[in-house]
Amino acid sequence: MRNLMITGGAGFIGSNFVRYMLERYADYRVVVYDKLTYAGNLDNLKDVAERFADRYAFVKGDICDAATVRGAIQAHEVDAIVNFAAETHVDRSIMDPDAFIQTDVYGTYVLLEAARELGLERYHQISTDEVYGHVPQGASKESDPVAPRSPYAASKASGDLMVNAYFITYGLPVTITRGANNIGPYQYPEKVVPLFVTNAIDDIPLPLYGDGLQVRDYHYVLDHCEGIDLVLHKGEIGGVYNIGTGAEMRNVDMAHLLLDLLGKPESLIQPVRDRAGHDRRYSLDVSKLRALGWEPAHTCEDAVAETVRWYAENEWWWRPIKSGDHYQEYYKQQYEGREVGD
Ligand code: NAD
Ligand code: TYD
């Protein structure tokens, strides 16, 4: 595996992974294949395009478009696909699931079919802890059944099932990783941490869903990238690997931590109507990946501090997004008139 096609590489985790892999492996070449939806942004790869001009290429394309996918694989002599391309935001999947089914289910099938026909060495699927559904107690193991509850999670679980079907039926060399909530540089400010941080910087209220007692495992994006790298190189073919820290953080505590770090008042926290079907807790058992030798380099608190610092220092990146028409429209639709408890 020397020539990687990173689909969705212009998004948050994908762009971090592209940078990480090019820095780590001097003999690897990367082609990013990305549709550039609202979440895809070539600013995320600006430094990569400059620093690695001889080993990096970009193709604008939809993973649902079989001809363009095949063309890119052949033109760049791709050995392996790492698929980050997806619609990724639960709230958007509640408003309009259509694109989620197209990209996360059908698009995954198109990539698998191309990988099979063209005989690629590996297909790696980036999945999520959300496929296990709400976990009232304990921690999800890779062998647990999937029980997704949001349209986003259901579309991601469907993708995973198809990946497994290609392994069983056609012997396609696949691996899957299921990551917990990522935080770090270049995360689109619709997800809770960048949304809260950038709102707080501007003294805009932090919309906290429901009672704020929902639990997530937030891990630093580069720790996630290291886990994916390890599975790509040392994972068992056909295997599924969870990636997270196992630490638990309630949303209300996250809001307080972010406000503390930024020196902003607690009065900025604004309770709002809860998300429909809101999963109260995710928790991953990560012992399988640890057995391969992986350890996260950041605690949750380190990851949060690092992330806050990045957003404070990189307003050039997020201000144009937040002031754009697309974001403004989304924010209005999602949050206007949603306040409770005033
Ligand atoms: P993101 O929304 O920041 O980026 C998604 C990228 O995919 C964008 O660049 C977008 O343009 C591209 N894309 C979307 N539809 C496409 C299509 N049809 N064809 C080609 N490109 C398309 O997402 P992210 O947060 O970086 O997540 C990346 C992957 O990791 C996703 O598969 C997601 O399910 C998974 N994941 C995310 C998290 C998280 O906390 N963000 C956690 C676990 C797993
Ligand atoms: P989010 O970042 O959307 O990730 P997930 O896919 O895990 O739902 O949300 C993380 C948690 O934060 C989740 O419990 C919902 C909550 N949340 C809020 O309280 N307010 C917000 O504005 C957003 C976007 C999320």
- What would the pLDDT profile of 19-34 be if each residue is shown by its tens digit? 999 999 999 999 999 9
Which of ligand 1's atoms lies nearest the C-alpha of 107?
A: 18
Helix, strand, coil content of the chain in percent (nearest 5): 45, 15, 35
Which of ligand 2's atoms lies nearest the C-alpha of 255?
A: 19
Residue 103: both structure tokens together: 């990209």
Mean pLDDT of 42-65: 98
Mean pLDDT of 81-98: 98
- The strand pair at 56-60 and 174-179 is best described as unpaired
- H-run or E-run covering 34: strand 29-34
Whether residue 181 has its Cβ less than 6 Å from ligand 2: yes
At residue 101, does pLDDT exceed 90? yes
Q: What is the pLDDT of residues 133-165, one digit of tens each?
A: 999 999 999 999 999 999 999 999 999 999 999
pLDDT recorded at residue 173? 98
Q: What is the pLDDT of residues 199-223, one digit of tens each?
A: 999 999 999 999 999 999 999 999 9
Q: Of 65, 34, 69, which Cα lies nearest the Cα of 48?
A: 34
Q: What does 79-107 look like in DSSP terms, one character per residue?
A: -EEEE--S---HHHHHH--HHHIIIIIII
CA distance linking residue 10 with residue 117, whole number of Å: 26
Separation of CA 104 and ligand 1 centre (Å): 9
pLDDT recorded at residue 342? 56
Mean pLDDT of 272-284: 98
- Are 128 and 179 in contact by the 8 Å Cβ rule? The answer is yes
What is the percentage of the chain residues whose pLDDT exceeds 70?
100
**Global pTM?**
0.99
Q: Of 157, 156, 161, 78, which Cα lies nearest the Cα of 117?
A: 78
Q: Mean of the per-residue pLDDT values for the chain?
A: 98
Ligand nearest to the CA of 69: 1
Separation of CA 127 and ligand 1 centre (Å): 10
What is the percentage of the chain residues whose pLDDT exceeds 90?
99
Confidence of residue 87 (pLDDT cuts 50, 70, 90): very high
> For the domain 3-183+219-243, what is the CATH superfamily, name and number?
NAD(P)-binding Rossmann-like Domain (3.40.50.720)
Residue of 87, 104, 130, 223 marked active site: 130
Domain boundaries defined on the chain = 3-183+219-243
Q: Report the pocket of ligand 1 as residue ranges, CB < 6 Å.
A: 7-8, 10-14, 34-37, 39-40, 62-64, 84-88, 103, 107, 126, 128, 156, 179, 181-182, 188
Separation of CA 192 and ligand 2 centre (Å): 5
Active site (annotated) includes residue 130: yes
